[in-house]
Amino acid sequence: MLIHTSTGAAPWILIEGDSQRYARIKVLSAMVATLTEALDRRQVQLPPIRTPLQDHLDPTEPNPLGQIDLTQSLSEDDYKHKLSQQQARLGKLQREIYEQQVPVLAIFEGWDAAGKGGAIKRLTDILDPRSYEVQPFAAPTDEEKSHHYLWRFWRRLPSAGKIGIFDRSWYGRVLVERVEGFATDEEWRRAYREINEFEEQLTRAGYVLVKFWLHIDTDEQLKRFQARKENPFKQYK
């Protein structure tokens, strides 16, 4: 899935998630770098980058996640310093995004318990709450099922100058809907082209699209599931 949908218009950013501190800083740093580049390109009136695949995803590699080094980590002191630094940069970039009326969409995908919620929280801590919205997506409603599967995401896209954050997204079509049989073989196979074309349309319309995949190994995932069971404040998950 990552290889088929990592395009020049919308590349995946792979996040090593076994260390939550490291993952959160990498998300913030990548967000800052992507927004900075997008704003710089607008100032010199350059078109969005369009290449077949993102360089760091090797199309000959059967599993790009095998390239991830899950031993990456940060000390608590380094984490606090980098967190403050990147959040300050992000706050400044948000003001520029509003002034230039640039719509931004950040998509978070990854394994259950990979740390999407924690990364989103650190991302939004510094943002003006009037200028962003977090949209979590679960199973579609009956009304949403009566439309094309992209409809429920399309209607929640951020407007100009705003930041939209999707916790899960249209990639459910080729992930959970494919695995659980909600989408037929023809439907999920066709979805790769539909998703790529949809994302291409968004970037052509001026959207800055940032896609994060948070990855953890099975041992770390099991450890976090067990910790959830023991924490009454997280048992809702």
pLDDT of residue 49: 55
Show the tokens assigned to 63: 């599993």
Whether 164 maps to a domain, the answer reads yes
Whether 237 maps to a domain, the answer reads no
**Where in the sequence is the domain holding 117, given as residue range(s)?**
12-230
The domain total for the chain is 1
pTM of the model: 0.90
Low-confidence stretches of the chain (pLDDT beneath 70): 44-62, 233-237
Whether 98 maps to a domain, the answer reads yes
Whether 127 maps to a domain, the answer reads yes
Whether 6 maps to a domain, the answer reads no
pLDDT, tens only, 105-117: 999 999 999 999 9
Helix H segments across the chain?
Answer: 20-43, 76-100, 116-124, 142-145, 151-154, 176-179, 185-204, 218-230
Whether 158 maps to a domain, the answer reads yes
Give the number of other Cβ atoms within 10 Å of residue 63's Cβ.
Answer: 9
Which residues, in sequence order, are CB contacts of 112 under 8 Å at separation 6+?
Answer: 221, 225
What does each C-alpha distance from 197 to 10, 26, 178, 193, 194 come to in angstroms?
10, 28, 19, 6, 5
Whether 32 maps to a domain, the answer reads yes
pLDDT of residue 179: 92
pLDDT of residue 46: 64
Helix H segments across 103-204?
Answer: 116-124, 142-145, 151-154, 176-179, 185-204
CA distance 198 to 194: 6
CA distance 95 to 110: 29
Q: What is the CATH number of the domain that holds 158?
A: 3.40.50.300
Whether 236 maps to a domain, the answer reads no
